[in-house]
Amino acid sequence: MKVNALKGSARVAFTLVELLVVIAIIGILVGLLLPAVQAAREAARRMSCSNNMKQIALSALNHESAYKRLPPSLYVDIGLPPGGSGQPGFPYPAIVHCWSIYLLPYMEQTQLYSAYDQKFPWFSSPTLVPGTPNNQAVLQNVVPTFVCPSTPSGANRKINGTFTFGAPFPFTNFAPTDYATNSSINPGSITFFGYASGTTQNDLFSALGPELKGAGLPLLATTARRANTIAFILDGTSNTILMCEDAGRPEQYIGRTLDSTRYLRDGGWGHHENDYGLDGAVAGSRTSPGNCVINCHNDNETYSFHTGGATHGMTDGGVQFLSATISPQVYAALITAQGSGRTPAEISPQTQE
C-alpha cells in the first residue's frame, strides 16, 4: 500500500521533445511580437518628430506675429569691401545667420538666443579672431527640438568642418539638426519640374526665403531681398511647405545605405547652409535632377528615417507626412509660395498625385 501510494504521487517531467516544442513556440511568439514592438517604438518616435516640426512651425508664426515677417531661410549682410572696417560683421567678411537663430526665443531657448551675437556671423569665435563673440560655443549646445528621435545616433552626433568665405573658418563639435528649409527650386532643375524656360529661382521661393542685404551683394551674384510676409504666400499657407526633414547628417545616406566615404559638414543647427533648393535625384544615387524627391539621399534633399515618407511643417502651422512616392511636380508645387498656375500641378495638385 505504501509503495503504490508513493508511485501515484510521483512527479512527471517534460520529455526532451516536449521541451523543444515549448522553446519553439516561445521563439515564434517572440518573432511575432518583436516587429510589433519595434513598430510601436518607431510610431512613438515619428510622433515625437511630428511634435518637433509642429513647434518649429508655430515658432516661425510667432516670429511673424512679432515682426510682421517670417524668419529668413538664411540671412546675409555683406559690405564692400567685405570685412572692411565699419562693414557688417567686421572683422569677419559678412554677417551670416541660419533660420534657426530666429526661432530660439519661441522654443524656450532664450538663454541661447541671448548668448548669440547677431552683429557677428555664426562662425565668430575668439579662437579665430581674438576679442570677437563666441557664437560657435552657442551652436555646440543641443536643442532637442531640432533632433528627430528616429535618426541614428540621435543628439550624440557632432559636426566639424571649415567654412570658407574669403578665408577659412574652422568649426568643431556643432550640435545637429534634422530639419532644414527647402526654400526654392535650384536653377538647373526648374524646367525638369515642369516650369517654363525663363522661370527664375526668385519666382519660386517658398514661405521661408533668404534675406540678403549690403553693398557687397554683387560679389555673390545676387540682389537684395527681404524675408517674406504672409501676404507673399499666394498659394495658401496650408499648401506651402515651411520646413522639411534633412536627417542624419553629418553621415551621408543614399536610400537606406550609409556612405562612409562622405561627410556632410552643414548639419549643425546654426550653419546657414541648412537651407537648400529642390533638385530631386535618380533613385539609388546622388545624380540630379531626378523624380525621387523624398528619402533619396540627405545631401541637401528631403530625407527622413521614417518608413514611406517624411514629416513637413506647413506655413499654416500644421504638419503633414508626405509620401516618398509623391509626384515630383506636386512636391515642387508645395514648395513654391507663388506658383500661380505655372504648371498643371500648381493649378490642381490633387489631380496630379
List, as one string, the DSSP characters of 312-339.
EEETTS-EEEEETT--HHHHHHHH-S--
Distance between CA atoms of residues 183 and 160, nearest Å: 25
Query: How confident is the model over 27-81, as pLDDT tens digits?
Result: 787 777 666 666 667 778 889 999 999 999 999 999 999 999 999 999 999 999 9
Q: Which residue is it, cell 541671448?
A: 114
pTM: 0.87
According to the model, what pLDDT value does residue 6 have? 44
- The chain-wide mean pLDDT, for the chain, equals 92
C-alpha cell at 337: 509660395
Reported as type and span, the H/E element at residue 278 is strand 275-278
The per-residue pLDDT for range 239-261, each reduced to its tens digit, is: 999 999 999 999 999 999 999 99
C-alpha 271/C-alpha 279 separation (Å) is 21
Burial of 8 from C-beta contacts in 10 A (0-12 / 13-18 / 19+): exposed
pLDDT tens, position by position, 17-37: 777 777 888 878 777 766 666
Question: Are 55 and 145 contacting, i.e. CB atoms less than 8 angstroms apart?
Answer: yes
Instruction: Say if residues 267 and 299 touch (Cβ distance below 8 Å).
Output: no
Give per-residue pLDDT as tens, 211-240: 999 999 999 999 999 999 999 999 999 999
| Cell numbers that stand for 248 in this block | 542624419
Q: What are the boundaries of each domain within the chain?
A: 49-351
Task: State the virtual CA torsion across 338, 302, 201, 230 in degrees, nearest 10.
Answer: 30
